[in-house]
Amino acid sequence: MPSPLARPFFLYATSLVLLAGCANELIDVRPGSQNIPLLAANQVAQCQFQGNTTVSVLAQVGFVSRSVEAINGDLLQLARNAALDAGGNALVPGDRPELGKQTFGVYHCPLP
């Protein structure tokens, strides 16, 4: 006979897996954010520095680890959204003190 805790644990575990898989779907893709490129530091010499933004996302949901690709994608999208708020149109990746957290430089560059 199954343990009385087996069913609640199964439901909990299934919920965590679903949440981990859908976590990146919760990041808002703001209009115009997809046009903000990720540049190298040597590509922003003609740009005006707007400031830094530090963004973070969950690297793990419960005991389920998210993929590095999903985490990086979410970090970049959050940084793009923040760049819009700061009047920027380009990003330069900066420090990554831990998985799920990163700082980006926000720049406003002349349009080509």
> Nearest Cα to 14, choosing from 72, 67, 62, 59?
62
Residue 39: which H helix or E strand, with range? none
Reported pTM: 0.76
pLDDT score for 5 = 55
Residue 71: pLDDT band with limits 50, 70, 90: very high
Under a CB-based contact definition with an 8 Å cutoff, are residues 108 and 88 in contact?
yes
Alpha helices in the chain (DSSP H): 6-22, 68-86
* pLDDT over 80 (residue 36): yes
Tens of pLDDT, residues 49-67: 999 999 999 998 888 889 9
Tens of pLDDT, residues 86-104: 999 999 999 888 889 999 9
Residues 6+ apart with CB under 8 A from 59: 65, 66, 71, 98, 99, 100
Structural domains in the chain plus CATH codes: 6-108 (3.30.110)
